[in-house]
């Protein structure tokens, strides 16, 4: 039985989760390593919340969001190549649906992202390279946990 099969249908207010008890998982991509914690995923709303860590120098390839994205920077400094602003510790960024951009990490960074709708990684000729949404966030996080011999934490809100 997978986490998806065990997802609760409770629509009430849940108790706070201890973010420190949620394990970090890492994924190595050709552009660098991302580490993240999945805090919430809703297939019903197609949204998910992740805490992400990147090392300075990472350049996330161009991607397009289909829904709004909210980003809260806890530490570090990052920006999008396509814009003339920089997010630093304490910054909040709201990305409108259908925005397309390439993220650059200027300093070791930790940020919380709330992603509504899916997103695609975009290739040099505009082709779709990868798709991610709430469902794939759950599945990918669970697979990465299993690779580290860790169980899916009970505190993660999955609906």
73: which residues sit within 8 A by CB, 6+ positions away?
Answer: 87, 88, 89, 90, 91, 92, 93, 109, 110, 111
Domain-located, residue 15: no
Number of domains in the chain: 1
Q: What is the pLDDT of residue 31?
A: 82
Q: What angle do CA 28, 34, 36 make, to 5 degrees?
A: 125
pLDDT tens across 82-137, in order? 999 999 999 999 999 999 999 999 999 999 999 999 999 998 888 988 899 999 99
**Between residues 23 and 32, the one the model is more confident about:** 23
Domain-located, residue 7: no
Domain-located, residue 10: no
Q: What is the pLDDT of residue 80?
A: 96
Q: What is the pLDDT of residue 126?
A: 85
Beta bridge partners, 95, equal 69
Domain-located, residue 6: no
Domain hosting residue 30, numbered range = 22-154
User: Binning pLDDT at 50, 70 and 90, where does residue 143 land?
Assistant: very high
CATH number for the domain spanning 83: value is: 2.60.120.10
Q: What is the pLDDT of residue 10?
A: 52
Domain-located, residue 142: yes
Domain-located, residue 115: yes
Domain-located, residue 3: no
The pTM score is 0.88
Q: Which stretch of 3-12, 42-51, 115-124 has the lowest confidence by average pLDDT?
A: 3-12
pLDDT tens across 69-82, in order? 999 999 999 999 99
Domain-located, residue 2: no
Q: Which stretch of 25-29, 50-54, 81-85, 104-108 has the lowest confidence by average pLDDT?
A: 25-29
Q: Which stretch of 1-5, 17-21, 132-136 has the lowest confidence by average pLDDT?
A: 1-5
Quick one: tokens of 130? 């990868």
Spatial contact of 65 and 114, defined as CB atoms under 8 Å apart = no
């Amino acid at each position: 039985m997978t986490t998806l099969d065990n997802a609760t249908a409770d629509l009430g207010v849940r108790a706070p989760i201890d973010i420190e008890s949620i394990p970090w998982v890492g994924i190595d991509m050709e552009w660098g390593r991302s580490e993240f914690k999945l805090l919430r995923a809703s297939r019903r709303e197609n949204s998910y919340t992740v805490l992400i860590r990147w090392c300075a120098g990472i350049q996330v390839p161009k991607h397009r969001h289909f829904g709004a994205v909210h980003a809260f920077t806890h530490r570090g400094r990052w920006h999008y190549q396509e814009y003339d602003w920089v997010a630093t510790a304490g910054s909040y960024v709201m990305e409108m649906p259908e925005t397309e951009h390439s993220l650059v990490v200027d300093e070791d960074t930790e940020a919380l992202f709330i992603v509504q709708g899916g997103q695609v990684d975009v290739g040099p000729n505009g082709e779709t390279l990868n798709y991610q949404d709430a469902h794939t966030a759950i599945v990918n996080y669970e697979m990465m946990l299993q690779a580290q011999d860790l169980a899916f934490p009970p505190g993660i809100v999955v609906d």
